[in-house]
């Protein structure tokens, strides 16, 4: 806390406080070794630190507080404490995810740091300091993001050898920053280590929020001081103020109590005067300087004269009135005299005259009196009217006076104008006029105010420009960081996918191992098998646990795949559950591994492919599988190639309306199968889905399109797959037509399913040729493959293969035809040949064949077997085999019919021999 | 150690009568309203004890649609037993049952055990086929008959127990390879007569 003492009086006395004191450049930098903090700062030469005011607090104590900010490179944290010398920061700001902002319309030096959790408003002493800070913060943030990540944990290294290499191009783009904002020079004395030595405010800045830290810091400083005193390292001058300090700060509770009261005093901080206001004031002063010189004397003279004249007039009027009043007085005097005469006369009369005369006289006098009374009244009236006119005059006078005042004002204004003009004239004499002399006064005034405005706008513009430049750089920086982070994320995702794939593989291998063990142990109820059971149970439960707890999973095994099929087949038997899980894991690992290496290039090739034209290249592409986004388009094209000749516009609608008019005999069966189509697909099980309705219409339309077939169980699956891919029902209908009427041989779905049965025999022949060992093995165990393969052919694997492989098979099948079905049927056996050969029991083999198609997860491997390992595979051979077997089958059927007939014959004859009374049920059957 | 006998059983009957459901109930004790219609055949196993033997049923479920009948010989060939299913709410399905019985008698293995299941007995209020008719018919052909419900798990176990009982006990002289005897072989030979 050294140094606090000498500044304490200054900072507590002046409200502006810390800001000003920090700005004061006169404070000489004291020696470096003055405090332990300064020493530690010295060790890091390029440290970003300095005093800033931070806006904070709540309610009445809201306001600016000076804080010492310093940046920690390792953590990308901006710490702040009350003073540079404090040992523990009050708090920190995480810059790694912060954005910076400065507002043009805010006070100078104010800027904001926004982190996801809060916004910190800070104020630097000057604009330059603010820009310096902003730029430094940006730089630090960039450095942090650009720096190589912390060395990973050891297991990472082991994996790095196998995984895709994470290659992050961390390009240096510092130069770009300068496009936006040229580097701000370090404001001298305001930031950096030297700023720590700036005087800082005393206790009133104490942070209430971080009181604990404050107390700690205080204690630390006290301790530090004591130590320093003990060693006697400090120069004596700096020691002296300390002695008083510790006592004051030694009682944090006291300072704590006093702070809230004191806090508001320094919160309202006078804004630094902007250059604009200063300009204004100066201009005003300049104008005033020239003004009073002319005008004021004149105005004063003028008004006096006018007043005198008016008063004189008034005096005149009043004297007139006075005269008339005097006259009146005179008249009254005369009257009085006459009355006195009269009185004298009457007293004479009283003295002398006799009664009669007296009476006469009295009467006469009474008359005279009345006469006089009347006259008095008349005079009185006259007087009143005169007084009235006098008041009227007075009013007039007042009005006139007002008028005079008005004129005087006008005069004054004019004089002012004259003054200004003369000033202007003098100016113009000095500086030759450079503008049109027209209406010089108005123009001048305009000019002045506009200049002010321009000045103002320039100021604004400057501010906005800085802000804009800063924000541009901020945007640039943030974008850069974002890009980098996105890159990192992508790399991590790839790595994750790879690791997940590996994990899946390992897990599936583990499960497979468990299964083998289980099989090997057989039914022996030993401790081992109990343990195994437990392990299997656990393994099966993993998935559920993972799914619920691990919400952050990157590419979880979703319940349904892209086309809505359940990803984990719902096997009911316990040991098959394990298999199902193994299979799901395998599928996923292949999917994850294939994403980058296989799917991407394929996708690119498909994207580059323009119009679809039959070609060898297209054939290869179709065999590899069409990416999902291209599949509907490609299928439509493939179907069109095949049904062009059957296609007439409106045909589908017509078939539909035919179905509405009359019920097809197949309608009942279609209806029965509708809800049983793909119970493992959400599009067909969801009650609100439109797919079952579409499927009904497609199948009904087909039953009319091809009355000989009508509806055959299995067509529902074909149509459903078409619907899932093409979505639109008419396209799906044509797809069904293409398969049944153009791809498959005739009689494939008709009443006897002859062609389908023929194909099973053809397949057996082909299997014997391509996989002789397997066929021998199956023969040995009396396994009839056609029980299993019949379904494959009838519905083109729709029930057997997992959807992503199934649709690839269909991609090639729609283009190349039934050959593809044979190829894949052979490939499926080849793929699992070893496994089948391992099984030494017909039942086990059957059981295995029940689900083994669904365990195929590596579509590329299967495809390679189908199209490479099974070569040569010639259409001619296929046709020939089909012909041979068809003949044989038909012969067999004929033979069967014959046997049937013979049997009936035999029975009939036998029955004839038996008594006629007991008619057997058989006869009823025969009729049914 | 009990001897395990593998018994091939095939299910026949009109489409939609509930063959797959019966198998599903028997093997997994589970009922699903929307079981995917069988095409070709589906295959399941279940082992049940019978006397001092274990009977391992290898159940072949077949497609019901008329045109798949031509495939049926593949399935009943070598079968020890056939479960012929009708739907008690569908008179038609009872006629189809009779056709199946006839076909089995003409082309099936000679000693095949026939069991008739009148399924969906939970829907007896909309019944079309009286139990009496079924019983009379079964008697006339020497078959066992039960009314079942795959949905409510009625008589499913009993159906297969009945079949077990009808299987003639093993001839001890033929008991060869470690207790596992395949009944498949002799019946296959028997059926060769017609296919
Ligand atoms: N109410 C009722 N419905 C049943 C029963 N068994 C099967 N079903 C229904 O009948 C329909 C056809 O069944 P499924 O087993 O596929 O017949 P399959 O064609 O003979 O195999 C399905 O919708 C089943 O839900 C039963 O015992 N009771
Ligand atoms: Mg079925």
Report how far residue A433's alpha carbon sits from residue A438's, in angstroms, rounded to the nearest whole number. 11
Whether B137 and A850 lie within 8 Å, measured CB to CB: no
Ligand 1: centre distance to CA B34 (Å): 8
Q: Is the CB of B33 under 6 A from ligand 1?
A: yes
Is A314 part of a structural domain of the chain?
Answer: no
Alpha helices (H) in A690-741, listed in sequence order: 691-705, 715-726, 729-737
Strand pairing category for B81-87 and B41-50:
unpaired
Q: What is the DSSP letter of A270?
A: P
Q: Is the CB of B151 under 6 A from ligand 1?
A: yes
Sign for the pseudo-dihedral over CA of A302, A308, A311, A317:
negative
- Give A301: exposed, middle or buried? Use CB within 10 Å, 0-12, 13-18, 19+: exposed
Q: What is the DSSP letter of A123?
A: E
pLDDT at A172: 44
Ligand 2: centre distance to CA A677 (Å): 12
Q: Is the CB of B149 under 6 A from ligand 1?
A: yes
Indicate which CATH number applies to the domain containing B36: 3.40.50.300
Whether B67 and A751 lie within 8 Å, measured CB to CB: yes
Q: Is the CB of B187 under 6 A from ligand 1?
A: no
Q: Which residues surround ligand 2, an ion (CB under 5 A)?
A: B 19-20, 38
Whether A685 and B71 lie within 8 Å, measured CB to CB: no
The closest CB to that of A794, out of B24, B39, B141, belongs to B39
Buried b / exposed e along A487-501 (16+ C-beta atoms within 10 A)? eeeeeeebbbbbbbb
How many folded domains does chain A comprise? 2
Residue B48: pLDDT band with limits 50, 70, 90:
confident
Whether A790 and B107 lie within 8 Å, measured CB to CB: no
Please tell me the residue having the least CA distance from ligand 1 atom 1: B120
Q: Is the CB of B123 under 6 A from ligand 1?
A: yes
Report how far residue B71's alpha carbon sits from residue A755's, in angstroms, rounded to the nearest whole number. 12
Ligand 1: centre distance to CA B21 (Å): 5
The closest CB to that of B140, out of A675, A842, A920, belongs to A920
Which 3-state string (H, E, C) describes A15-69? Answer: CCCHHHHHHCCCCCCCCHHHCHHHHHHHCCCCCCEEEEEEEECCHHHCEEEEEEE
Q: What domain range is A775 assigned to?
A: 617-893
Q: Is the CB of B62 under 6 A from ligand 1?
A: no
Ligand 2: centre distance to CA A754 (Å): 21
Sign for the pseudo-dihedral over CA of A606, A610, A613, A617:
negative
Crossing angle for the helix pair B131-141 and B91-107, to the nearest 10 degrees:
10
Is A706 part of a structural domain of the chain?
Answer: yes
Whether B33 and A675 lie within 8 Å, measured CB to CB: yes
Ligand 1: centre distance to CA B22 (Å): 8
Is A456 part of a structural domain of the chain?
Answer: no
Query: Of the bound ligands, which one is closest to the alpha carbon of residue B85?
Result: 1
**Cα angle value A549/A555/A559 (rounded, 5°):** 75
Q: Is A847 on the interface with B (CB under 8 A)?
A: yes
Is B48 part of a structural domain of the chain?
Answer: yes
Q: What is the DSSP letter of A557?
A: -
The beta-strand segments (E) located in B27-182 are 41-50, 53-62, 81-87, 113-119, 144-147, 180-182
Residue B194: pLDDT band with limits 50, 70, 90:
very low
pLDDT at B5: 84
Q: Is the CB of B122 under 6 A from ligand 1?
A: yes
Instruction: List the single best residue of B37, B58, B97 to mutate versus A (max A Cβ within 10 A).
Output: B37
Indicate which CATH number applies to the domain containing A95: 2.30.29.30
Q: Is the CB of B119 under 6 A from ligand 1?
A: yes
Report how far residue A180's alpha carbon sits from residue A474's, in angstroms, rounded to the nearest whole number. 9
Q: Which residues of A touch B64 (CB under 8 A)?
A: 713
Cis upstream peptide for A872 (omega within 30°)? yes
For residue B68, the distance in angstroms to the closest alpha carbon of chain A comes to 7
CB proximity list for A381: less than 8 A, separation 6 or greater: none
Q: Is A672 on the interface with B (CB under 8 A)?
A: yes
Buried b / exposed e along A823-857 (16+ C-beta atoms within 10 A)? bbbbbbbbbbeeebeebeebbbbbbbbbbbbbbbb
Q: Is the CB of B153 under 6 A from ligand 1?
A: no
Report how far residue A744's alpha carbon sits from residue A753's, in angstroms, rounded to the nearest whole number. 12
Q: Is A742 on the interface with B (CB under 8 A)?
A: no
Is A632 part of a structural domain of the chain?
Answer: yes
Report how far residue B65's alpha carbon sits from residue A96's, in angstroms, rounded to the nearest whole number. 69
pLDDT at A403: 94
Ligand 1: centre distance to CA B26 (Å): 13
Query: Of the bound ligands, which one is closest to the alpha carbon of residue B23?
Result: 1
Mean pLDDT, 10 residues at a time, chain A of 928 residues: 40 41 42 42 61 78 82 83 82 83 78 85 84 84 74 44 43 47 65 65 58 63 55 43 42 42 43 44 44 49 81 91 91 89 78 74 86 92 93 93 93 92 85 60 85 91 89 90 88 80 80 76 68 75 48 54 74 60 75 72 82 86 90 93 85 86 84 84 84 91 90 92 92 93 90 88 93 93 88 91 90 93 95 91 84 84 91 88 92 82 76 54 37
Q: Is A677 on the interface with B (CB under 8 A)?
A: yes
Q: Which residues of B touch A782 (CB under 8 A)?
A: 184, 188
Which whole-number Å values give the CA distances from A619 to A609, A614, A644, A784, in the listed order? Answer: 13, 8, 20, 33
Report how far residue A213's alpha carbon sits from residue A599's, in angstroms, rounded to the nearest whole number. 57
DSSP secondary structure of A340-365: HHHHHHHHHHHHH--HHHHHHHHHHH
CB A22 within 8 A of CB A195: yes
Q: Searching chain A, which residue's CA lies closest to the CA of residue B134?
A: A921
Please tell me the residue having the least CA distance from ligand 1 atom 23: B33
Quote the tokens at residue A745. 């041989």
CB A533 within 8 A of CB A521: no
Ligand 2: centre distance to CA B20 (Å): 4
Quote the tokens at residue A899. 């046997």
CB proximity list for B67: less than 8 A, separation 6 or greater: A712, A749, A750, A751, A752, A753
Quote the tokens at residue A366. 């009474």
Q: What is the DSSP letter of A149?
A: P
Q: What is the DSSP letter of A918?
A: -
CA atoms within 13 Å, Cβ hemisphere of A921: 17
Any idea which residue has 């050294």 for tokens?
A2
- Give B78: exposed, middle or buried? Use CB within 10 Å, 0-12, 13-18, 19+: buried
Q: Which atom of ligand 1 is least distant from the CA of B31?
A: 25
Any idea which residue has 């107390």 for tokens?
A215
**Residue A435, phi then psi, degrees to nearest 5:** -140, 170
Which whole-number Å values give the CA distances from A356 to A353, A460, A800, in the listed order? Answer: 8, 115, 169
Whether A713 and B68 lie within 8 Å, measured CB to CB: yes
Please tell me the residue having the least CA distance from ligand 1 atom 25: B33
Is A488 part of a structural domain of the chain?
Answer: no
pLDDT at A22: 41
**Residue A70, phi then psi, degrees to nearest 5:** -145, 150
Q: Is the CB of B64 under 6 A from ligand 1?
A: yes
Buried b / exposed e along A799-811 (16+ C-beta atoms within 10 A)? bbbbbbbbbbbbb
Q: Searching chain A, which residue's CA lies closest to the CA of residue B98?
A: A925
Q: Which residues of A touch B101 (CB under 8 A)?
A: 925
Q: What is the DSSP letter of A269?
A: P
Please tell me the residue having the least CA distance from ligand 1 atom 24: B33
Element (H, E) at A774: helix A772-780
pLDDT at B53: 83
Any idea which residue has 């992050």 for tokens?
A168
Ligand 2: centre distance to CA B45 (Å): 16
pLDDT at A547: 43
DSSP secondary structure of A220-244: HHHHHHHHHHHHT-S-HHHHGGGGH
Please state the pTM of the whole predicted model.
0.57
Whether A921 and B34 lie within 8 Å, measured CB to CB: no
pLDDT at A81: 86
Q: Searching chain A, which residue's CA lies closest to the CA of residue B77?
A: A784
Q: Searching chain A, which residue's CA lies closest to the CA of residue B6?
A: A843
How many folded domains does chain B comprise? 1
Three-state DSSP class for A507?
helix
Indicate which CATH number applies to the domain containing A629: 1.10.472.80
Q: What domain range is B45 assigned to?
A: 3-166
Is A162 part of a structural domain of the chain?
Answer: no
pLDDT at A718: 94
Which whole-number Å values give the CA distances from A517 to A510, A531, A676, A825, A834, in the listed order? Answer: 10, 11, 37, 30, 18
Q: Is the CB of B18 under 6 A from ligand 1?
A: yes
Number of A–B residue contacts, CB under 8 Å: 113
Which whole-number Å values give the CA distances from A701 to A572, A653, A657, A711, in the listed order? Answer: 36, 8, 9, 10
Is A249 part of a structural domain of the chain?
Answer: no
Q: Which atom of ligand 1 is least distant from the CA of B150?
A: 27
Element (H, E) at A91: strand A91-94
Report how far residue A873's alpha carbon sits from residue A866's, in angstroms, rounded to the nearest whole number. 10
pLDDT: is B126 or A264 the higher one?
A: B126
Report how far residue A539's alpha carbon sits from residue A562's, in angstroms, rounded to the nearest whole number. 26
């Amino acid at each position: 806390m050294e140094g606090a003492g000498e500044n304490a009086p200054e900072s507590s006395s002046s409200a502006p406080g810390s800001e000003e004191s920090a700005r004061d450049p006169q404070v000489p930098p004291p020696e470096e070794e003055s405090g332990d903090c300064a020493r530690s700062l010295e060790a890091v030469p390029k440290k970003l630190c300095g005093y800033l005011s931070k806006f904070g607090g709540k309610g009445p104590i809201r306001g600016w507080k000076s804080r010492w900010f310093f940046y920690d490179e390792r953590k990308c944290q901006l710490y702040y404490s009350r003073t540079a010398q404090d040992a523990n920061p009050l708090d920190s700001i995480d810059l790694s995810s912060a954005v910076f902002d400065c507002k043009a319309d805010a006070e100078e030096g104010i800027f904001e740091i926004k982190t996801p959790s809060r916004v910190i408003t800070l104020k630097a002493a000057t604009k330059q300091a603010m820009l310096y800070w902003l730029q430094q913060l940006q730089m630090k943030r960039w450095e942090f993001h650009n720096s190589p990540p912390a060395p990973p944990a050891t297991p990472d290294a082991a994996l790095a050898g196998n995984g895709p290499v994470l290659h992050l191009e961390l390009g240096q783009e510092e130069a770009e920053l300068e496009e936006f904002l040229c580097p701000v020079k370090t404001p001298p004395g305001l930031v950096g280590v030297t700023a720590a030595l700036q005087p800082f405010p005393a206790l009133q800045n104490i942070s209430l929020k971080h009181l604990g830290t404050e107390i700690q810091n205080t204690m630390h400083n006290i301790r530090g001081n004591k130590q320093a005193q003990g060693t006697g390292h400090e120069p004596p001058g700096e020691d002296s103020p300390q002695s008083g300090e510790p006592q004051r700060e030694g009682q944090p509770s006291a300072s704590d109590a006093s702070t809230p009261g004191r806090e508001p005093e320094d919160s309202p901080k006078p804004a630094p005067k902007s250059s604009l206001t200063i300009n204004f004031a100066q201009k005003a002063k300049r104008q005033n300087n020239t003004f009073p010189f002319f005008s004021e004397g004149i105005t004063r003279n003028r008004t006096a004269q006018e007043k005198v004249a008016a008063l004189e007039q008034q005096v005149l009027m009043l004297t007139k009135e006075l005269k008339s009043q005097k006259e009146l007085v005179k008249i009254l005097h005369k009257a009085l005299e006459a009355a006195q005469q009269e009185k004298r006369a009457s007293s004479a009369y009283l003295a002398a005259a006799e009664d009669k005369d007296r009476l006469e006289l009295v009467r006469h006098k009474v008359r005279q009196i009345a006469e006089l009374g009347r006259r008095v009244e008349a005079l009185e009236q006259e007087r009143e009217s005169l007084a009235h006119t006098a008041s009227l005059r007075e009013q007039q006078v007042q009005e006139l006076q007002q008028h005079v005042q008005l004129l005087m004002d006008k005069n004054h204004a004019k004089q002012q104008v004259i003054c200004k003009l003369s000033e202007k004239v003098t100016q113009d004499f000095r500086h030759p006029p450079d503008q049109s002399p027209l209406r010089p006064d108005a123009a001048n005034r305009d000019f002045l105010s506009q200049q002010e405005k321009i000045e103002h706008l320039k100021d604004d513009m400057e501010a906005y420009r800085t802000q804009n430049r800063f924000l541009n750089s901020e945007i640039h920086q943030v974008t850069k960081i974002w890009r980098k982070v996105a890159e990192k994320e992508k790399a991590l995702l790839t790595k994750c996918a790879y690791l997940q794939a590996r994990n899946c593989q390992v897990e599936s291998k583990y499960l497979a191992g468990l299964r083998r063990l289980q099989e090997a142990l057989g039914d022996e109820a030993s401790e081992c098998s109990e343990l195994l059971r437990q392990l299997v149970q656990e393994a099966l439960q993993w998935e559920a646990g993972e799914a619920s707890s691990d919400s952050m999973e990157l590419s979880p095994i979703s319940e349904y795949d892209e086309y809505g099929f359940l990803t984990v087949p719902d096997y009911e038997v316990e040991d098959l559950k394990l298999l199902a899980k193994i299979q799901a894991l395998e599928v996923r690992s292949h999917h994850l591994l294939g994403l980058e290496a296989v799917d991407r290039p394929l996708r690119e090739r498909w994207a580059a492919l323009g119009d679809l034209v039959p070609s060898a290249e297209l054939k290869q592409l179709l065999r590899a599988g069409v990416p999902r986004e291209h599949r509907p388009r490609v299928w439509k094209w493939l179907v069109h190639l095949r049904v062009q000749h059957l296609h007439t516009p409106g045909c589908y609608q017509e078939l539909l309306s035919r179905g509405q008019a009359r019920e097809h005999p197949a309608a009942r069966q279609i209806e029965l199968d509708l809800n049983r189509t793909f119970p493992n697909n959400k599009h067909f099980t969801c009650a609100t889905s439109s797919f079952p309705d579409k499927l009904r219409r497609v199948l009904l339309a087909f039953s009319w399109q091809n009355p000989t077939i009508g509806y055959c169980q299995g067509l529902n699956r074909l149509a459903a797959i078409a619907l899932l891919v093409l979505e639109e029902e008419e396209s799906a209908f044509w797809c069904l037509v293409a398969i049944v009427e153009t791809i498959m041989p005739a009689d494939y779905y008709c009443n006897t399913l002859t062609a389908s049965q023929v194909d099973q025999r053809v397949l057996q022949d082909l299997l014997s040729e391509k996989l002789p060992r397997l066929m021998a093995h199956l023969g040995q165990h009396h396994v009839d493959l056609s029980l299993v393969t019949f379904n494959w052919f009838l519905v083109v694997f729709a029930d057997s293969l997992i959807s992503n492989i199934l649709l690839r098979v269909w991609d090639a099948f729609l283009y190349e035809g039934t050959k593809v079905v044979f190829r894949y049927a052979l490939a499926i056996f080849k793929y699992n040949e070893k496994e089948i050969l391992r099984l030494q029991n017909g039942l086990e083999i059957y059981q295995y064949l029940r689900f083994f198609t669904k365990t195929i997860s590596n579509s590329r491997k299967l495809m390679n077997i189908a199209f490479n390992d099974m070569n040569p595979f010639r259409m001619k051979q296929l046709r020939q085999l089909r012909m041979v077997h068809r003949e044989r089958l038909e012969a067999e059927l004929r033979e069967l019919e014959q046997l049937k007939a013979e049997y009936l014959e035999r029975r009939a004859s036998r029955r004839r021999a038996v008594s006629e009374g007991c008619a057997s049920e058989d006869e009823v059957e025969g009729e049914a | 150690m009990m001897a395990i006998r593998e018994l091939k059983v095939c299910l026949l009957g009109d489409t939609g009568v509930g063959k797959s459901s019966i198998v599903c109930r028997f093997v997994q004790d589970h009922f699903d309203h929307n079981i995917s219609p069988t095409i070709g055949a589906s295959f399941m196993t279940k082992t049940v004890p019978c006397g001092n033997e274990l009977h391992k049923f290898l159940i072949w479920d077949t497609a019901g649609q008329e045109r798949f009948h031509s495939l049926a010989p593949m399935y009943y060939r070598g079968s020890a037993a056939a479960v012929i299913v009708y739907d008690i709410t569908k008179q038609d399905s009872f006629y189809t049952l009779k056709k199946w019985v006839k076909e089995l008698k003409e082309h099936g293995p000679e000693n095949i055990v026939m069991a008739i299941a009148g399924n969906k007995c939970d829907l007896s209020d909309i019944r079309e086929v009286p139990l009496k008719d079924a019983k009379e018919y079964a008697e006339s052909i020497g078959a066992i008959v039960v009314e079942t419900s795959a949905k409510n798990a009625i008589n499913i176990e009993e159906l297969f127990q009945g079949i077990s009982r009808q299987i003639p006990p093993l001839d001890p002289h033929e008991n060869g390879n470690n207790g596992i005897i395949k009944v498949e072989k002799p019946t296959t030979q028997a059926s060769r007569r017609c296919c």
